[in-house]
Amino acid sequence: MTHISSLTSGIYSYMDVFTGDVSAIDGDSVVGDYAALFASGTPGTDVLRVPSPREFPAVGNAANITNVPVFGQQQSSQVSGQSDAPSMDVTINYVPSDILDFENIKGKEVAFRFMFAAAAVTEADGTAATLDVDNTEFYWKGKVEAIQPTPSLTDSNTAVINISVQVDFVGPSTIAAT
């Protein structure tokens, strides 16, 4: 299909992870390189979907600008430069049996895809070369660094999946229609 072209809620938002060989992905990789990885994967084996997301982070490259206070002046200065490698946190409803596959890939370089869709997209649909739903994706290479469960006495138990970003984000892109 095409990119999403109307203002809607993000109810059909997904984060998928390709756990196979990502050594060919680097800073010069393009959308087609990432899409080919996901299209070559098998859902549930080397393409995993982040289960029960509760809250997604902002996706994209942050500006490397920092406000620096200057002694004796009312206004601060802005400094542009290199920042630490970006990271993001995804909050999920924590069901230990649903997250076991992610425990097994901690520290391994993997490819991520963040997808917005106009309707539900199954994991199998997401690995296809074509898709009949308006969609927009962002790709990047990174690592699952940690999974931090948080017990709750009044709400569902949650966990935060800490992800480091190894290369710049690629996108937005769209999986074309049949």
d(CA 35, CA 113): 9
Tokens of 42: 């098998």
Domain boundaries, the chain: 13-59+99-142+166-173
Angle in degrees, CA 21, 46, 147, rounded to 5: 95
The least confident of 3-12, 23-32, 85-94, 164-173 is 3-12
Residues of the chain above pLDDT 70, percent? 80
Q: pTM score > 0.85 for this model?
A: no
119 or 108, which is more confident? 108
Contact 171, 32 (CB under 8 A): no
